[in-house]
């Protein structure tokens, strides 16, 4: 089954500090708030998003992924995808209309992640003062130096990376693009999947906690490495600690940058990377020593990067222990160091 899903359409995250999160996304990262509910839930967009919004920030006790919404390849594909999920014993819920898009099917998958699928969604129509001179642009390019173009991907956490990848591949047609195993151990710690020609729009990291449905990061796209470097500079100058990067992943060959927003969620900005159109692609297995995380194979991933959200109950996070992500006082990931060659 191919082309059941077309692409990632929007993400909904919870923040214990919605006002702080929204202010950060608008003032520091260059997104634009387009709508707000009475409870503070705020809908934001990047300048190049084709639909009205791509990020919903909603009040919550902890940073978390509330929902990940994919657009299907057609109206029929929505029915087919829902039937395939239901055939696995997951009932799900149909909505006629919610959050500004049309009929949707929402379900919680076997590892606790809530996913929504829809076909009907309005195209973004920019207000006159933000209209682009170019017909293909939904809105004029942002004048904010750090502004991403559009939403790119989401990387969740699962206690069974291969099991997660296999289920979403079998049921919804995601192509499995790569795995990362720890050296000298039969443990898969990472995988990437895609609905289209991008190297991935869904990532999976190993979750050693007992909490289901966790997320590692959400990611936005910028057009060039120059813009990514400027974004890193602008964020840093305005008080955001850079957790990891800028550098290039071996898997996907994307340039990346990671930081946290005020609600605690890890945000990635990325660019570059190959396109892959091979329908029967066979996923290769990488190791950290092969450069899965860092293509230059000369630096270790910070241990803080393994933190997922909501936090593991009972375990202090690196930040709670007084360690600032992206600084020298933090621990070093033993996986990344071991056997580096």
Min separation Cβ 152 and Fe ion, Å: 8
Question: Strand (E) positions, 134-248?
Answer: 150-158, 175-181, 188-194, 202-206, 215-221, 242-248
DSSP string for 216-246: EEEEEE-S-HHHHHHHHHHHHHTTPPEEEEE
Please give the size of the binding site for Fe ion, defined by CB under 5 A. Answer: 3
d(CA 182, CA 202): 20
> Hey, which residues does 256 pair with through a beta bridge?
247, 270
Tokens 């109206």 locate to: 75
**Contact with Fe ion (CB under 5 A) among 139, 201, 261, 268:** 268
d(CA 120, CA 122): 7
- Please identify, using beta-carbon distances, which residue of 171 and 219 lies nearer to Fe ion: 219
d(CA 17, CA 270): 25
- Please identify, using beta-carbon distances, which residue of 56 and 219 lies nearer to Fe ion: 219
- Please identify, using beta-carbon distances, which residue of 49 and 268 lies nearer to Fe ion: 268
Min separation Cβ 124 and Fe ion, Å: 24
Min separation Cβ 143 and Fe ion, Å: 26
Min separation Cβ 249 and Fe ion, Å: 8
Min separation Cβ 98 and Fe ion, Å: 27
Question: Strand (E) positions, the chain?
Answer: 5-15, 32-36, 42-45, 55-59, 64-72, 93-95, 104-108, 114-118, 150-158, 175-181, 188-194, 202-206, 215-221, 242-248, 254-260, 266-272, 284-286
Could you tell me the end-to-end alpha-carbon distance of the chain, in angstroms, rounded to an integer? Answer: 39
Min separation Cβ 292 and Fe ion, Å: 12
Tokens 């009972």 locate to: 314
Min separation Cβ 268 and Fe ion, Å: 5
- Please identify, using beta-carbon distances, which residue of 57 and 219 lies nearer to Fe ion: 219
- Please identify, using beta-carbon distances, which residue of 82 and 177 lies nearer to Fe ion: 177
How far is residue 328 CA from its own chain's centroid? 26
- Please identify, using beta-carbon distances, which residue of 107 and 164 lies nearer to Fe ion: 164
Applying CB under 5 A, which part among 66-74, 119-127, 151-159, 238-246 lies near Fe ion? 151-159
Applying CB under 5 A, which part among 74-82, 164-172, 213-221, 273-281 lies near Fe ion? 213-221
Position 46 contacts Fe ion (CB under 5 A): no
Tokens 């005020």 locate to: 262
Share in percent of the chain as helix, strand, coil (round to 5): 20, 35, 50
> Do 45 and 55 touch, CB atoms closer than 8 A?
yes
- Please identify, using beta-carbon distances, which residue of 73 and 302 lies nearer to Fe ion: 302
Position 152 contacts Fe ion (CB under 5 A): no
Site residues (CB under 5 A) for Fe ion, limited to 310-339? none
Position 202 contacts Fe ion (CB under 5 A): no
Position 165 contacts Fe ion (CB under 5 A): no
Q: For residue 263, which of 37, 41, 32, 113 has the smallest C-alpha distance?
A: 41
Position 181 contacts Fe ion (CB under 5 A): no
- Please identify, using beta-carbon distances, which residue of 219 and 232 lies nearer to Fe ion: 219
For residue 39, the tally of other CB atoms under 10 A from its CB is: 9
Distances from the Cα of 88 to the Cαs of 85, 213, 307, 324, in angstroms? 5, 18, 30, 43
Min separation Cβ 228 and Fe ion, Å: 13
Position 219 contacts Fe ion (CB under 5 A): yes
- Please identify, using beta-carbon distances, which residue of 82 and 219 lies nearer to Fe ion: 219
Applying CB under 5 A, which part among 22-30, 240-248, 267-275, 315-323 lies near Fe ion? 267-275
Position 12 contacts Fe ion (CB under 5 A): no
Q: Which residues bind Fe ion (CB under 5 A)?
A: 155, 219, 268
């Amino acid at each position: 089954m191919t082309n059941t899903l077309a692409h990632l359409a929007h993400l909904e995250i919870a923040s214990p500090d919605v006002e702080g999160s929204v202010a950060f996304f608008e003032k520091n990262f260059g997104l634009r708030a387009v709508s707000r509910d009475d409870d503070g839930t705020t809908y934001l967009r990047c300048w190049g998003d084709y639909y009205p919004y791509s990020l919903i920030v909603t009040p919550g006790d902890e940073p978390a992924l509330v929902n990940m919404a994919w657009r299907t390849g057609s109206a029929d594909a929505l029915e087919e995808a829902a039937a395939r999920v239901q055939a696995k014993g997951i009932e799900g819920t149909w909505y006629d209309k919610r959050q500004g898009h049309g009929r949707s099917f929402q379900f919680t998958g076997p590892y606790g992640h809530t996913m929504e699928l829809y076909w009907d969604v309005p195209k973004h129509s920019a207000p006159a003062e933000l209209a682009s001179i170019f017909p293909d642009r939904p809105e004029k390019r942002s004048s904010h130096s750090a502004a991403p173009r559009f939403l790119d991907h989401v990387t969740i956490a699962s206690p069974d990376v291969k099991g997660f990848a296999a289920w979403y591949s079998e049921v919804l047609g995601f192509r499995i693009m790569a795995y990362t195993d720890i050296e000298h151990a039969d443990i898969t710690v990472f995988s990437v999947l895609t609905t289209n020609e991008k190297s991935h729009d869904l990532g999976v990291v190993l979750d050693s906690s007992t909490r289901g449905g966790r997320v590692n990061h959400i990611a936005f796209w910028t057009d060039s490495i120059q813009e990514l470097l400027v974004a890193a500079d602008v964020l840093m100058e305005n008080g955001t600690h850079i957790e990891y990067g800028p550098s290039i992943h071996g898997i996907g060959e994307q340039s990346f940058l990671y930081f946290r927003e005020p609600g605690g969620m890890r945000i990635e900005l990325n660019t570059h990377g190959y396109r892959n159109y091979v329908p029967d692609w066979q996923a290769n297995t990488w190791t950290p020593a092969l450069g899965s995380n860092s293509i230059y194979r000369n630096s270790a991933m910070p241990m803080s990067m393994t933190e997922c959200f909501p936090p593991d109950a009972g375990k202090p996070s690196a930040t709670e222990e007084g360690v600032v992500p992206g600084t020298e006082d933090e621990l070093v990931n033993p996986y990344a160091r071991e056997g580096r060659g």
